Every structure is written in C-alpha cells, then in structure tokens.
Structure 1
Amino acid sequence: MAIGPSPKDIPAIRRTLAVYKVSSVLTGTFLLGLVVMMITRYGLGSDIELNGESGFLALTPVGELTGFNLSIFLLAVHGWLYVLYLACDFLLWRLLRWPFWKFLWIAMGGIVPLLSFFFERQVPREVEALIASLEAEQRARPATEGASA
C-alpha cells in the first residue's frame, strides 16, 4: 500500500484547502498590521489608537491611550488567526500525509511577513495537482481491474 492521501479523503482535503486559503490571506494581512504595530510601538514608542483624544486614528505614546488600542487588537486577532492557519496546515499535513518538515515550512507563513501570500498560491496548486492525480488514478483503476478479470 502506497503512502499518500486516500481518494476517500478528497472532500475533506477540498474543505480544508478552502479554509486554508482564506486563513492564509487573513493571517498574512494581520501579520502586516502587526509589523506596522511593532514598528510604531518599539521604534516610535507609540501605540495605534482609535477614537482617542487625538482623533479617529493616531499614534499615542504607550500608556497614554484614551481610546481603543488598535495595536493590541492587531496582536490578538493575528494570534487567533494564526491558530486557525496552523490548524488548517496541520489538517492538510495529516490528510495529505506530507513529511513533517512541510508542516513546519507552511507554518512559517504566519510568522514571516508576506510568506503566507506566497503559500496561499503555491499550496493550493500543489494540493489540486495531487487531487487531480488521485482522481485520475481512481478513474483508471476500475478500467484496469475490469480488464484483468
């Protein structure tokens, strides 16, 4: 028996892939926001404030915020989206029976800015090619089994 995905897992793979694509874009977007937040907080000593005394959107020194702390919001939302991204990565890894290094490599998409956008294009292409080969193999199997009988 060959090691690889099973044809019966194709619907689960497609569902997981659809969620993965959305989570990779969202995670990447919030990661870019997080990079901006890190630059403003640690480079400029300010947090991004929403609806504070300085106006709708302003950079306010850390600890002096009166409005909504958008910096903390970006941090928290990215964290939860990364959990979703990792869950999809894990499910794809498990369903496709990829090597562990591939799971770790794709997981880097939520840590390295812009990498998730690259993976959002590359991973689905690879998975769709794998699904196509599984489906072709499945269509060819009954024809060869019937010929040998």
Structure 2
Amino acid sequence: MKKSVLTRYRVMAYVTAVLLILLTVGVIGKRLLQLDGFDGFVTVVGIAHGWLYVLYLIFAFDLGNKAKMPVGRLLWVLLAGTVPTAAFFVERRVSREVEPLLQKDADPSPAAA
C-alpha cells in the first residue's frame, strides 16, 4: 500500500470534520439562536460538506480495502464523517494502525539465498 492512500484519507478526514463542525455551529446559530445571516453560510457549508463527504467515503473505503480492515471497523470509519469531531479521533486511530503496514511494505524483504 502506498503512503498516498493514507495521506488522501487523512486530508479528507480533517476537511470533512472541520466542515461538519462549521455546519453544526451554523445550524445552531440559524435554528436555536435565530441569528440573521446564517442562511447562506449553512447552505454553502452544507453543500461543501456533502460533496466532500462523498470523496471522504471513497478514500476511506479505498484505505480500508487496502489495509484489509474488518467490515465493522470500516463502517465506523465511513460513518465518522457524520458525527462532529469523531473523524479527528477515528483518523488518528486509523493512522496509528495503518502506518506499520506502510513501513512493512516500504522495507525491502531480504533476498532468499
């Protein structure tokens, strides 16, 4: 597995998580606090999060497939982009689990004599 697979996943996890937090703040401001001016913000951030979440799903599925994750863990990784701040924690845990696999693939295996 290439390191770029993990890098793509990590970038999309952070982008998705930040957008979801911004969307949550926007919805709170719009619905609960009834502040003016949040309509456009919620619309733009919601659309951006929706489209980028699709990319997150693709990259997370690709990583999970190449890392041979169990189905339950892969589903949790895929759903982490829907819970505010969950993607930060899940990304860190996945990165710790996948990095040894990257190093193992990068180390040249000794030639059999």
Same fold (TM over 0.5): yes
When the two structures are superposed, what TM-score results if normalisation uses the length of structure 2?
Answer: 0.86
Q: Name the structure with the higher helix share.
A: 2
**1:4 alignment counterpart:** none
Question: Is residue 2:67 matched to residue 1:78?
Answer: no
Which has a greater percent of strand?
A: 1
Rounded to whole Å, the distance in 1 between the matches of 2:35 and 2:78 is 30
After superposing on structure 2, the runs of 4+ consecutive aligned residues of structure 1 that deviate more than 4 Å are none
Cα RMSD over matched residues? 1.9
| 1:43 Cα offset (Å) | 1.3
Q: Partners of 1:84 and 1:28 in 2: how far apart?
A: 13
Deviation at 1:72, TM superposition (A): 0.2
Gaps of 5+ in 2: none
Distance in 2 (alpha carbons) for counterparts of 1:99 and 1:31: 26
The CA deviation string for residues 66-118 of structure 1, in whole angstroms up to 9 with x for no partner, is: xxx11100101111111111111110111122111111111122111111111
Structure number with the bigger relative contact order (C-alpha 8 A, sep ≥ 6) is 2
SS of the residue corresponding to residue 84 of structure 2 reads coil
| Number of equivalences | 113
Q: Are 1:35 and 2:24 matched, yes or no? A: yes
- Tell me the TM-score normalized by structure 1: 0.67
The Cα offsets for residues 125-146 of structure 1, whole Å up to 9 and x where unpaired, read as 211112223445x514x3xx32
Residue segments in structure 1 that go unaligned for 5+ positions in a row = 1-9, 50-58, 63-68
